Amino acid sequence: MDIIQIVGYKNSGKTTVATTFIEYATKKGIRTASLKHHGHGGIPEGIKDTDSEKHRLAGAIISGVEGGSVFQLSKENWTVDEMIPIYNMMHIDLLIMEGFKSYPFPKVLLISRKEELDLLDQVENVQAIITRVALEKNSYPFPVFHSFEINRICKWLEGQLKK
């Protein structure tokens, strides 16, 4: 399974880019999934005060609920290393991860302002930058795309996938 992380500061366009990648890959017949880090603190909406969360709080190691084609798993302190095998089990070709900056998977870094370039010193395995500001493209050892070059970005992504 190929993994591409979309990372950037808040409101940098991560969800827009992830959605675009997912739509593009799906149209190409690539079995695509997503994993998003809820970086806003606390429990994502839809989990708190549910019966399955009561089960977890009562001591269940993992609590699941299914309904209307949605399957949610709740567990204390999930790690990415625990979640990725679940995606592998589903025979996914491409996992688009939004966030999880500290993990070493190949990353697309989103830059909205030049001050955000400090992210380059905070993350590893950057494969490309998508920017809203003018950057000197030859200054980086990987492709630099402007955010309006979405077709070019998607073709680049497809080229990064294992065949």
Contact partners, residue 91, CB within 8 Å, separation at least 6: 31
Buried/exposed 113-131: b ≥16 CB within 10 Å, e otherwise = eeebeebeeebeebbbbbb
Establish if 71 belongs to a structural domain. no
Domain membership of residue 65 (yes or no) is no
How many structural domains does the chain have?
1
pLDDT tens-digit readout, 95-109: 999 988 999 999 999
- On whether residue 140 sits in a domain, the answer given is yes
Extract the tokens encoding 44. Answer: 């994502």
Residue 72: inside a domain, yes or no? no
DSSP state of 119: G
Instruction: Provide the CATH number for the domain around residue 123.
Output: 3.40.50.300
Give per-residue pLDDT as tens, 35-74.
Answer: 987 654 555 555 667 777 778 778 777 887 888 888 878 7
Domain that holds residue 131: 2-42+79-160
Query: Distance between CA 157 and CA 95 in Å, rounded?
Result: 12
- Helices (H), strands (E): how many in the chain? 4, 8
Instruction: Look up the pTM and report it.
Output: 0.87
